[in-house]
Structure 1
Amino acid sequence: MFFLILLLLLIISIAVIEQRKKVQAKQIYWEHINAIEAQQKQRILHRALETQRALENKKLSDSKI
């Protein structure tokens, strides 16, 4: 009976560890996805700023002519 209880505790411990691994893997996955999204937003913002500067420079050069 004692060994049966130990075996049950071992099985429960393994199940808990596996569940924690799954949760950790999901957290890492979502952190990665969020980092990619942030990087994409940063690129879009950078392109928008470059476009804005180019338009301002074009206006300045057109007004000088």
Structure 2
Amino acid sequence: LCFVGEVKFKNKKICKNILNLLKSKAKSLNLAPNYYIIISKNGFSKEIDKICEQNLLLLDLNDFKILLEE
């Protein structure tokens, strides 16, 4: 399995452009990822949320809350 991902810790939502850049980086490295993973501090734009790709995982800080609970 091959995973390619990026973490963005910005005060704005992540847009589709970040996914396109990630795919471009993978292609330039001759990678064929099974999954693309993007982790965002402040969530995602409506545009990227609408993308229904089975190999795309979008995670924000809320997805990690359970790890912080005692």
**Larger fraction in strand:** 2
Higher RCO (Cα < 8 Å, 6 or more apart): 2
- Give TM-score, length-normalised by structure 1: 0.25
- TM-score, L = length of structure 2: 0.24
Structure number with the higher helix fraction is 1
Work out which of the two has the higher radius of gyration on C-alpha atoms and give 1 or 2: 1
